[in-house]
Amino acid sequence: MPINNIKKYVQDILPLILGDTLFSYELSICNCNKEPIPYSEIIGNLNHEYLVLIIFENNVSTISAIAKKLSKFINKNVFYVESENKTILYWFEGEEINPETSTSSKKIDTSEHLSSAIARIKSETRLPVWLDKFLFDTLLAEYAPDFDKYDFNLNHSEIEILTYLGTYFPRSYSESYCIFNDLFNNVHFKKEYQTKEIVNVLDIGSGTGGNLIGLLTALEKNLNQKFKVNIWAIDGNQDSLKFLTKITEKFKQYSQNKFEIKTINATVENINHLSSTFQSLDCQSFDFITSFKAVGEIISYAKSKNGQEYFDLALLCCPLLSDLGLLLILDVTTKAKNSTFLPILLNEQIRRFIKANNSFRILSPLSCNFFSQQCNTDCFYYHEFTISHKKKTKDVSRVVFKIVGRKKLVDDLSKDFKIGRFVIDWKHFDQENESKCCCPISLNEVVLSDSYKLS
């Protein structure tokens, strides 16, 4: 069937599927024998003559229902993916290419293979307008990356903090918002939180609070009921905490919910120093305990000598989790001074904590959720998040993270997930180096899955 005939056919049937909805979209018919093919890196095997792409300009909340309706109408597998604030619907037409080497000849279920490969966590976002203006117009933050200068932030002056606000605060916001927004789209987690009236948050190494604002934004977006958030924010830089207070006070102006933040100025030279700080808190049960890029600083610059900081943090924090509570530890991917790379340390130590404390379990990444008990690999993985604001478009951060919770909660949240070949490196992922970008223990599995996506 010539491309023009396919295009006319699709143009005729789309109005029947979309109905009266006013979706703006672009239709493209691609010949798979020619290159380049748009989005081929996430679509995977192009094993038919033609690829039909329907690219919606925004995220489409009903895309799953549309894909099912269209699939039934045309009697073909229809797939979809959300990428870069677009929703992409696609299917194949024409004859199969090289059937003897196609995925079907390897007894791979093409439908499951492709649909799981394209279901990915949203990793790109933009600062809210109010926050963009407040950071850069009111506080006069500056964008000036300098990792060597800002890999240790305890002693920064107010001027240096303004550079941090314009450069690294947005990155932490993006990481936190994308992770928690995806988490709240887990149907089981969202159901539990839709009736909560009070949410308690403990943040360790808060700095200026980019990750806290990301969490609060995700809460605002995903919870329909009125609620109150109590925040305990611990950091050793008093000036950073002052900026955190200013930003959260500004956030309150755009919310109908209540927020109370208590800042605790405490220098943490090793994880055990936190024990006395925790004992002084007027709350001992938290729904979210977070630590963004703080443990790596302790490992590299503070006076800790045991080299077990991630293990010690989990050991100290997990007993403080509520029945619905989760611990999120996120860090940069650099090599620690006088040690190995932080992702290797985080993976090994949290895995060891779980093996020694069977009342807790890893929720994310999913590869660790399924395989942590049998894994002994020195694993270096990371995930990239992208943030845009008035000073920079698509600024990239590369981080490693773990989410841990009580076993009953994690079992409930992960009960719908199926074991698969878990992708842990999307940046370099393609068919040729697929095995290098997946969890090594999961390589014998067939269906591709995003190791980070919880919804």
Q: If you ran DSSP here, which 8-state letter would residue 257 be given?
A: S
Tell me, which fold does domain 124-450 have in CATH?
Rossmann fold (3.40.50)
Look up the pTM and report it: 0.74
Q: Which tokens go with 55?
A: 């690219």
Q: What is the pLDDT of residue 389?
A: 92
Which residues, in sequence order, are CB contacts of 411 under 8 Å at separation 6+?
361
Q: Using an 8 Å Cβ cutoff, are 47 and 97 in contact?
A: yes
Phi-psi category of residue 232: left, alpha or beta, with phi > 0 → left and psi -120 to 50 → alpha:
beta
Residue 347's contacts (CB-CB under 8 Å, 6 or more residues apart) are 368, 377, 378, 379, 380, 381, 400, 402
Could you give the CA distance from residue 261 to residue 252 in angstroms, rounded to a whole number? 11
Supply the DSSP string of 305-359, one letter for each residue: -SS-HHHHHHHHHGGGEEEEEEEEEEEE-SBPTTS-BHHHHHHHHHHHHHHH-TT
DSSP, collapsed to helix, strand or coil, labels residue 389 as: strand
Establish whether the linkage from the previous residue to 36 is cis, with ω within 30° of 0: yes
Strands (E) in 101-187, as ranges, are 124-126
Please tell me the predicted confidence (pLDDT) of residue 261: 96
Tokens standing for 371?
A: 């395989």
What's the Cα-to-Cα distance from 326 to each of 87, 195, 204, 447, rounded to whole Å?
A: 30, 17, 14, 28
User: H/E/C letters for each residue in 164-194?
Assistant: HHHHCHHHHHHHHHHHHHHHHCCHHHHHHHC
**Domain coordinates of the chain in residue numbers?**
3-118, 124-450
Length in residues, the chain: 455
Helix axes 169-184, 210-222, angle to 10 degrees: 30
From first CA to last CA, the distance across the chain in angstroms is 38
Under-50 pLDDT residues of the chain: 99-117, 149-150, 152-153
- CA neighbor of 398 nearest in space, from 378, 425, 362: 425
Alpha carbons 394 and 387: distance in angstroms, whole number:
5
What ranges in 357-415 are assigned the alpha helix state H?
366-371, 407-413
* Per-residue confidence (pLDDT) for residue 306, from 0 to 100: 64
Residue 112 has what pLDDT? 39
369-396 confidence digits (pLDDT tens): 999 999 988 888 899 999 999 999 999 9
